[in-house]
């Protein structure tokens, strides 16, 4: 049985953008740049710390840091292996017994956060909707035409190629094909409801700004670490082409 700590570290590897997806050895076109190990180390620390926080593990930071230093320094461990294994056995049983309680706490926190975020989103949308350049549909989706194209409009069965820049109402960027420098292709019905509706309002060549209430986005569940429960989302979307 894997320990909770082992699962946390496994999640770290899975979450890292550096995890290899293709193990095929390919010739390097140029010498690899030397990594900034201060930032890499900080990234790893944040990932592990995030796992501990998410699983509500009250870790001793002093002993955790000492153990890492001992391993890297080739020092003898502070405790015997059998002591450590016995402690981990007790820890695993404790965490298993607390799992339902932890999940209930997380659900309660998420529900409270959703209420707070939806209230803030409703206030934002109410003010935003007063602007003359903003239109509001029957579903509650708001949009603003930044540039009007003259191409065809997609239908639900189409695939589209777009550039987008997504933020929360406070301006925090959570995803952006523009920043990555590469547009993305997907089906009109393969995305959140606000996108599915909004894309069909656009002609190829258009650039719109969507203001999407949470019930047309990710709802009370949120998405990943950057989009919390009940968040209203803002997207700048440029429709580049329709792919039949």
pLDDT tens by residue, 20-75: 444 444 555 667 888 999 999 999 999 998 888 877 788 899 999 999 999 999 99
Class of domain 123-243: alpha beta
Q: Global pTM? A: 0.64
Nearest to 225 by CA among 41, 21, 46: 46
Q: pLDDT value at position 55?
A: 76
Q: pLDDT value at position 28?
A: 53
Radius of gyration of the chain (CA): 24
- Residues serving a catalytic function are 164, 174-175, 192, 218, 235
Top pLDDT among 214 and 99 is at 214
Top pLDDT among 213 and 1 is at 213
Chain region(s) in the chain for CATH 3.10.50.40? 123-243
Question: Residue 101 — pLDDT band, cuts 50, 70, 90?
Answer: confident
Chain region(s) in the chain for CATH 1.10.287? 4-18+33-102
Could you confirm whether domain 4-18+33-102 is CATH 1.10.287? yes
Q: pLDDT value at position 1?
A: 40
Nearest to 8 by CA among 61, 45, 62: 45
Instruction: Determine the average pLDDT of the residues in 225-239.
Output: 95
Instruction: Give the integer Cα–Cα distance in Å for 65 and 55.
Output: 19
Q: pLDDT value at position 29?
A: 62
β-strand pairing of 142-147 with 134-136: antiparallel
Top pLDDT among 2 and 224 is at 224
Instruction: Determine the average pLDDT of the residues in 220-234.
Output: 92
Yes or no: say if 186 and 177 are a contact pair by the CB < 8 Å rule.
no
């Amino acid at each position: 049985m894997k320990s909770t700590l082992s699962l946390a570290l496994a999640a770290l590897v899975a979450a890292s953008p550096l995890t290899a997806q293709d193990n095929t050895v390919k010739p390097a076109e140029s010498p690899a740049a030397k990594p900034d190990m201060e930032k890499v180390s900080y990234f790893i620390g944040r990932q592990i710390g995030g796992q501990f926080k998410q699983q509500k593990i009250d870790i001793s930071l002093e002993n955790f840091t000492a153990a890492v230093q001992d391993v890297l320094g080739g020092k003898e461990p502070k405790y015997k292996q059998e002591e450590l294994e016995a402690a981990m056995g007790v820890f695993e049983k404790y965490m298993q017994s607390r799992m339902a309680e932890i999940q209930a706490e997380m659900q309660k926190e998420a529900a409270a956060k959703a209420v707070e975020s939806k209230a803030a989103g409703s206030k934002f949308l109410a003010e935003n909707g007063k602007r003359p350049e903003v239109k509001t549909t029957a579903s509650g989706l708001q949009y603003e035409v930044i540039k009007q194209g003259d191409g065809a409009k997609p239908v639900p069965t189409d695939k589209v190629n777009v550039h987008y820049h997504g933020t929360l109402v406070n301006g925090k960027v959570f995803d952006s094909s523009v920043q990555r420098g590469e547009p993305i292709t997907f089906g009109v019905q393969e995305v959140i409801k606000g996108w599915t509706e909004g894309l069909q309002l656009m002609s190829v060549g258009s650039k719109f700004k969507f203001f999407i209430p949470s019930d047309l986005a990710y709802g009370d569940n949120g998405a990943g670490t950057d989009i919390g429960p009940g968040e209203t989302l803002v997207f700048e979307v440029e429709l580049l082409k329709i792919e039949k």
